[in-house]
Amino acid sequence: MSFKLLEKFSNLNKFSPGMYFTMHEKKIPSPFIPIFSRFSLYFAAMNSMTKADLLKKAQEILREQIKDVQEQLTELQESSEVEEKSSAGDKYETHQEMLHQTRNILEKRLSAAKIMLNQLNAVPVKETDKVQEGSLLKLPMGNIWVSVPMGKVVLDGVDFQLVSQDSPLIQALWDLKKGQTGNFRGNNISLTDIF
């Protein structure tokens, strides 16, 4: 986005106290106008920089998940060693089996988080003009980044859904360009914008 366009949007915040904004035949005092214009400015400035910020935020979340699971595995191992020294009999075997099952679950979670982080690191953050991996979509239902199936990520107070290119919605919109419409489960979905 050019600097002139951003400058044009930033001038929207310069209102005098006596100005009014007309919406649905009602006058709204000017202090509310900057809220609307900043919101518009955010979406006008959404681009590959936003993707880079989303990438960084998603990486932080996944790294935190990996760290958390690793800590749980360490605690589980320590618990197992302490229990091994002080127990015997059926209770010991039952406890060991529970620890083993918990360890397996945590190891699967750890593996999945590491795989997702590797996949995320491979997602391109360049601007796109059609729906493909790395596209940031503005749809009537919200903002979607075609990356990894991570779900909701909040960036600067704005919600983004991170989904994989294999999701049914993305498959329905694949290769569409801004302004085009795709059909998903019987509903027409218009691609409001793409970055």
Mean pLDDT across the stretch 157-186?
A: 95
Kind of pairing, strands 20-23 and 136-139? unpaired
Higher pLDDT, 6 or 70: 70
How big, in percent rounded to 5, are the helix, strand and coil portions of the chain? 55, 20, 25
* b/e map 158-179, b = 16+ CB within 10 Å: eebbbbebeeebbeebeebeee
pTM for this model (two decimals): 0.70
Mean pLDDT across the stretch 109-129?
A: 95
- pLDDT(189) > 70: yes
CB–CB of 161/172 below 8 Å? no
- pLDDT(4) > 60: no
pLDDT the model gives residue 186: 93
Distances (CA, A) of 52 to 83, 115, 140, 189: 46, 20, 23, 26
pLDDT the model gives residue 94: 80
User: What pLDDT, in 10s, does the model give residues 150-168?
Assistant: 999 999 899 999 999 999 9
Model confidence at 90, in pLDDT bands (50, 70, 90)? Answer: low
pLDDT the model gives residue 64: 98
Stretch among 7-21, 116-130, 143-157 having the lowest mean pLDDT: 7-21
Identity of residue 23: M
CB–CB of 195/54 below 8 Å? no
pLDDT the model gives residue 97: 86
User: What pLDDT, in 10s, does the model give residues 13-55?
Assistant: 333 333 333 333 333 443 443 433 344 444 445 555 789 999 9
pLDDT the model gives residue 27: 39
Higher pLDDT, 96 or 158: 158
